[in-house]
Amino acid sequence: MSDAASTPAPEGADRPAAAFFDVDNTVIRGASAYHLARELYRRRFFGTADLLRFAWIQARYVAFGESKDQIDTVRERALALIAGRSVAEVTAVGEEVYDTVLELRIFPGTKRLLDEHIAAGDQVWLVTATPVEIGRLIARRLGATGCLGTVAEHKEGYYTGRLLGDLMHGGVKAQAVRELAEREGLDLEASYAYGDSLNDLEMMHAVGHPCPINPDVRLRRHARDVGWPIREFRGRRQRVAGRSVRTASWAGAAWVVGLVARAVRRQVRRRLEMR
Q: Domain limits of the chain?
A: 18-45+85-243
DSSP state of 17: P
pLDDT of residue 269: 59
Q: What's the count of helices (H) and strands (E) in the chain, helices before strands?
A: 11, 6
- Are 60 and 95 in contact, with CB atoms under 8 Å apart? no
pTM for this one? 0.76
Nearest CA to 193 out of 219, 218, 217 is that of 219
pLDDT of residue 227: 96
pLDDT of residue 236: 61
Nearest CA to 66 out of 241, 211, 216 is that of 216
Looking only at Cα atoms, what is the longest distance across the chain?
A: 81
Specify burial of residue 249 (Cβ count, 10 A radius: 0-12, 13-18, 19+): middle
Cα–chain-centroid distance for residue 163? 16
Catalytic residues: 22, 24
Domain 18-45+85-243 has CATH 3.10.105.10: no
Which residue numbers in the chain have pLDDT < 50? 1-12, 61-66, 240-261, 264, 268
pLDDT of residue 205: 97
pLDDT of residue 265: 52
d(CA 136, CA 149): 8
Nearest CA to 196 out of 147, 123, 129 is that of 129
